[in-house]
Amino acid sequence: EEQLVESGGGLVQPGGSLRLSCVASGFAFSTYWMHWVRQAPGKGLVWVSRINEDGSSTTYADSVKGQFTISRDNAKNTLYLQMNILRAEDTAIYYCARCSGWNCFDSWGQGTLVTVSS
């Protein structure tokens, strides 16, 4: 069974950092582009970042550029999101999601909640 499982969320103070992880199983992780998508409480979906199959190419939403870093470890079937200088507006459920070619986003994790508050 194909599965994506996020972890690493929690409560962090403004200005703090957090690293999210997403472990993939049941499919050839190293052959897929992977993404992070977030959803603030009661709000809509917002695309955050994507990384290509071998990690050599990344893109970011303007709102997180220079603040977040996406990476992956294909040997561990794991996707990461390093989040720095966190602000209250970064509070959201963070989902990892997969694109199968242009079939985006065909698989989602259950999400991990990040709360930025003092």
Partner 1 sequence: QSALTQPASVSGSPGQSITISCTGTSSDVGAYNYVSWYQQHPGKVPKLIISEVSNRPSGVFNRFSGSKSGSTASLTISGLQAEDEADYYCSSFTTSDTWVFGGGTKVTVL
Residues at the interface with partner 1 (CB under 8 A): 35, 37, 44-47, 50, 59-63, 95, 102-106, 108-111
* C-beta separation of 109 from 93 below 8 A: no
* Residue placing its CB nearer to partner 1 in the complex, 27 or 60: 60
For the record, the structure tokens of 80 come out as 């990461």
- Measured CA to CA, the distance from residue 60 to residue 97 in angstroms comes to 14
* Residue placing its CB nearer to partner 1 in the complex, 17 or 52: 52
To 10 degrees, the CA torsion angle through 18, 22, 23, 24?
A: -170
* Residue placing its CB nearer to partner 1 in the complex, 1 or 62: 62
What is the closest distance, in whole angstroms, from the C-beta atom of residue 30 to partner 1 in the complex?
A: 21
What is the closest distance, in whole angstroms, from the C-beta atom of residue 61 to partner 1 in the complex?
A: 6
